[in-house]
Structure 1
Amino acid sequence: MTVEEVQNENQKKEFLEFPVRLYQHDKNYIRPLDKDIEAIFNPDKNKFFKNGECKRFLFKNEKYETVGKIAVFVNRLYKQNQPTGGIGFFDCIEDQETADFIFDYCKKWLQERGMGAMDGPVNFGERDKFWGLLIDGFVEPLYGMNYNFPYYKELFENYGFKIYFEQLCFSRPIFAEVSRVFTVMHAKHSRNPAISARPMKKNNLEKFAKDFTEIYNKAWSSHGEGKQMNESKVLKMFNMMKPIINEHISWFVYENEKPIAMWMNLPDLNQWIKHLNGEFGWFGKLKCIWYKRFKKNEKMVGLVFGVIPEWQRKGIDGYMIWEGTQHLRKHTDFTTTELQWIGDFNPKMIKIAENLDTTVTRKLATYRYLFDRSKEFERHPIL
């Protein structure tokens, strides 16, 4: 088998085109935007190159046909029990020998750089995109979510990878019956003149960025991960999202104008992107605008849900959900809401998702392979 490092334009194109050929008969496959993939491997656009190294490779058979591809990387800020590298953007024909060759190649590459394990398939970047292997729920992926054939699970596990953590994705129909608890809490808090709910508006992003930051930092300080966000970064994020913000589906709750809860959603971009075949130049942008205007998008994606500590377990979430749901049922075409994945190591967030009256509709897995095969394998610690 021949191995080629992706360096020139033809190799970059093949890295993008190989999965398109591989999945050509799979109706659920949605080609990601080429620019989103290429940005990950561009040191000028991906900050993780400052503390890491990343290479991608094509694997060819004796007929010089591509039979697999992968990216392998070291992120020195990725702190684990042992130095751990990553692999991602893996695609392969249904052949264990080919997959083993690819995994062996990555193992050797990582060992040469002092790594003691490899996680995959993961992203050379944040966990919010291209992270995990789909193991259950083989339907159209959400924007930025990995999709793969069912046989990939066997390729990983037969090699010796073990599940480090499962990634649970939750969903519910917009018009499904809402929990009576939600309607009761809505009725209760509606009688309180100090409590109000309002949707996010594009013409006042500064205010909502400030409110988002306040709620997020208070809510997440008690969830075990210690994440904090900066208001200026949130505003920058909101401005980037402005073209796709739907003003009917993101909600904030206030007590006398003090922000106490939020429910942030966006339309699933893949419902428009699936018509673009990866292209997002000027023509692709025009097509996207046309589909956005004339093609119904029936799926929205929950990004963040949060309630400040002093209002938790008081039913303010039910008030917000029913207030928003009644509104978006009247003013949008959405029929399904989906939540981005939650790790099985985070029972608090899973409980929040379950309290939203959702069910698990798909699972992904982050796998780990320890190079020292005598070492005891441990799953991700519970938060």
Structure 2
Amino acid sequence: MIIAEEVQSKARKREFLEFPSKLYQQDPNYIRPLDKDINDIFNPEKNRFFKNGECARFLFKNKENDTVGRVAVFVNNFYEQQQPTGGIGFFDCINDQETANFIFDYCKEWLQKRGMEAMDGSINFGERDKFWGVLTDGFEQPLYGMNYNFPYYKALFENYGFKTYFEQLCFSRPIFAEVSRVFMVMHAKHQRNPDISAQPMKKNALKKFAKDFTEIYNKAWAAHGEGKCMEESKVLKMFKTMKPIINEHISWFVYENEKPIAMWMNIPDLNQWFKYMNGKFGFFQKLKFLWVKRFKKNEKMVGLVFGVVPEWQRKGIEGYMIWEGTQHLRKHTDFTVTEMQWIGDFNPKMIKIAENLDTTVTRKLATYRYLFDRNQEFERHPIL
């Protein structure tokens, strides 16, 4: 017998955070997310999606009163799909199909009462940039904000009837791997042009780089797939928030004279430092973080954005930028590998760009969908 308990009391909120650590205590690749990051998602004052949605958390106990699973289930009215589709996230469960089925059934009933006709999981009650997808391949230490789970989760979802709505591909490359000959040729070509220059991002010039980032991003991505225009003021605010973790050697901009034409934005993988915090980030953990950040090598950086303005695309300017940046960061940092945030398999243009950067797929996640009407034809995410 399994019992569902809604997470409302302090004790249950604490257990919701602690259960995964107990489940993964023997897994050396598990990195506990910061409690603050999880709590903020379920705080209506911090998460704007509560203004147009509903969310609840549940723990699941066996007859011995041991926690055997947890989940968040939600309706996000910004999440527009072909049919009304709810979400489940932060799913963790023992390796038992019966227990998983009970959790999925419970979520299905909760969502049906709110007019939903399908559910996606394991996803976030928020944007796709964090805690999105079920890991299906590449069971290594997760990047900051990335879901991690045991290999058996794939079977738990698929045996219940979930199907892959889209696959999430993570591309990576070693920093010291041989750089493509094409990139070297393009670098030599553009290096001879006195109008072309490359500059690393500097903390003391965030206003300038926010302006340049906004210009490149909006030209390169506004009309590309699901791209959205960004406002310079919001980019500057984001840069200021990121300032403590910005590494001035790993984000690069290319200019034609003074005009920004390309960018390659990276940050250190915060999980390589947060893994020593055990989910906490209070006063003493912040002091520990500063010590760890200074004395513990971080060998992984994360690619956030890569963009070239339309008039410079297919001219090899990315080769110039990558070799300029790579030569520099090889000398001035400890990074040995770079990994890009995931790209959906519905976005072949972005996948092609990633492949052209001499990367390989090193990690896969799946966004699963379950249609409540089992006679309804299942369709994957449309290709952009």
TM-score class, shorter-chain normalisation, is over 0.9
Residue 130 (1) aligns with residue 137 (2) = no
Q: Any idea what SS the aligned residue of 2:153 has?
A: helix
Q: For 1:329, give the aligned amino acid.
A: R
Decide whether aligned partners of structure 1 residues 143 and 226 sit closer, same or farther in structure 2, where only a CA change above 3 A counts.
Answer: closer
Matches for 1:88-167 after TM superposition, within 5 Å: 88-167=89-168
Residue 295 of structure 1 is matched in structure 2 by: 296
Q: For 2:224, give the aligned amino acid.
A: H
Instruction: Say whether the 8 Å CA contact 1:182–1:319 is kept in structure 2.
Output: yes
Q: Tell me how far apart the structure 1 counterparts of residues 36 and 168 of structure 2 sit (CA, whole Å).
A: 26
Q: Tell me how far apart the structure 2 counterparts of residues 16 and 179 of structure 1 sit (CA, whole Å).
A: 44
Query: Structure 1, residues 289-317: CA drift from partner, whole Å, max 9, x if none?
Result: 10000000000000000000000000000
Instruction: Say whether the 8 Å CA contact 1:222–1:309 is kept in structure 2.
Output: no
Residue 279 of structure 2 is matched in structure 1 by: 278
Residue 306 of structure 1 is matched in structure 2 by: 307
Q: For 1:177, give the aligned amino acid.
A: E
Q: TM-score normalised to the size of structure 2?
A: 0.99
Instruction: Say whether the 8 Å CA contact 1:72–1:106 is kept in structure 2.
Output: yes
Matches for 1:284-363 after TM superposition, within 5 Å: 284-363=285-364
Q: Tell me how far apart the structure 2 counterparts of residues 353 and 227 of structure 1 sit (CA, whole Å).
A: 20
Q: Any idea what SS the aligned residue of 1:149 has?
A: coil
Structure 1 position 2, deviation (Å) = 1.2
Q: Tell me how far apart the structure 1 counterparts of residues 348 and 106 of structure 2 sit (CA, whole Å).
A: 36
In angstroms, what is the RMSD of aligned CA positions? 0.5
Residue 13 of structure 1 is matched in structure 2 by: 14
Structure 1 position 221, deviation (Å) = 2.8
Q: For 2:20, give the aligned amino acid.
A: P
Q: Tell me how far apart the structure 2 counterparts of residues 371 and 225 of structure 1 sit (CA, whole Å).
A: 27
Query: Structure 1, residues 15-60: CA drift from partner, whole Å, max 9, x if none?
Result: 0111100000000000000000000000000000000000000000
Q: For 1:324, give the aligned amino acid.
A: G
Q: For 2:299, give the aligned amino acid.
A: E
Query: Structure 1, residues 184-235: CA drift from partner, whole Å, max 9, x if none?
Result: 1111000000000000000000000000000000000342224110111100
Instruction: Say whether the 8 Å CA contact 1:67–1:93 is kept in structure 2.
Output: yes
Residue 65 (1) aligns with residue 66 (2) = yes
Q: Any idea what SS the aligned residue of 1:143 has?
A: coil
Residue 43 (1) aligns with residue 44 (2) = yes
Residue 212 of structure 1 is matched in structure 2 by: 213
Q: For 2:109, give the aligned amino acid.
A: K
Q: Tell me how far apart the structure 2 counterparts of residues 226 and 70 of structure 1 sit (CA, whole Å).
A: 30
Q: Which moved more, 1:219-228 or 1:54-63?
A: 219-228
Q: Which moved more, 1:163-172 or 1:222-231?
A: 222-231
Where does structure 1 lack aligned partners over 5 or more consecutive residues? none
Q: Tell me how far apart the structure 1 counterparts of residues 288 and 74 of structure 2 sit (CA, whole Å).
A: 35
Q: For 1:239, give the aligned amino acid.
A: K
Q: Tell me how far apart the structure 2 counterparts of residues 167 and 228 of structure 1 sit (CA, whole Å).
A: 23
Q: Tell me how far apart the structure 2 counterparts of residues 9 and 20 of structure 1 sit (CA, whole Å).
A: 18
Instruction: Say whether the 8 Å CA contact 1:69–1:91 is kept in structure 2.
Output: yes
Residue 180 of structure 2 is matched in structure 1 by: 179
Q: For 1:221, give the aligned amino acid.
A: A
Instruction: Say whether the 8 Å CA contact 1:30–1:141 is kept in structure 2.
Output: yes
Q: Tell me how far apart the structure 1 counterparts of residues 3 and 331 of structure 2 sit (CA, whole Å).
A: 57
Q: Tell me how far apart the structure 1 counterparts of residues 297 and 265 of structure 2 sit (CA, whole Å).
A: 20
Q: Tell me how far apart the structure 1 counterparts of residues 207 and 95 of structure 2 sit (CA, whole Å).
A: 50
Q: For 1:157, give the aligned amino acid.
A: E
Q: For 2:321, give the aligned amino acid.
A: M
Q: Any idea what SS the aligned residue of 2:74 has?
A: strand
Q: Which runs of 4+ in 1 moved over 6 A?
A: none
Q: Any idea what SS the aligned residue of 1:55 has?
A: strand
Decide whether aligned partners of structure 1 residues 97 and 366 sit closer, same or farther in structure 2, where only a CA change above 3 A counts.
Answer: same
Q: For 2:48, give the aligned amino acid.
A: K
Where does structure 2 lack aligned partners over 5 or more consecutive residues? none
Q: Tell me how far apart the structure 1 counterparts of residues 71 and 215 of structure 2 sit (CA, whole Å).
A: 40
Residue 225 of structure 1 is matched in structure 2 by: 226
Q: For 2:286, give the aligned amino acid.
A: K
Q: Any idea what SS the aligned residue of 2:108 has?
A: helix
User: What is the count of residue pairs matched by the alignment?
Assistant: 383
Instruction: Say whether the 8 Å CA contact 1:262–1:305 is kept in structure 2.
Output: yes
Percent of aligned pairs with the same amino acid: 82
Q: Tell me how far apart the structure 2 counterparts of residues 364 and 231 of structure 1 sit (CA, whole Å).
A: 32
Q: Tell me how far apart the structure 2 counterparts of residues 224 and 165 of structure 1 sit (CA, whole Å).
A: 15
Q: Tell me how far apart the structure 2 counterparts of residues 214 and 103 of structure 1 sit (CA, whole Å).
A: 44
Instruction: Say whether the 8 Å CA contact 1:87–1:119 is kept in structure 2.
Output: yes
Q: Tell me how far apart the structure 1 counterparts of residues 143 and 214 of structure 2 sit (CA, whole Å).
A: 25
Instruction: Say whether the 8 Å CA contact 1:72–1:87 is kept in structure 2.
Output: yes
Q: Tell me how far apart the structure 1 counterparts of residues 24 and 214 of structure 2 sit (CA, whole Å).
A: 40
Q: Tell me how far apart the structure 2 counterparts of residues 9 and 277 of structure 1 sit (CA, whole Å).
A: 19
Q: Tell me how far apart the structure 2 counterparts of residues 79 and 2 of structure 1 sit (CA, whole Å).
A: 32
Q: Tell me how far apart the structure 2 counterparts of residues 332 and 29 of structure 1 sit (CA, whole Å).
A: 25
Structure 1 position 77, deviation (Å) = 1.1
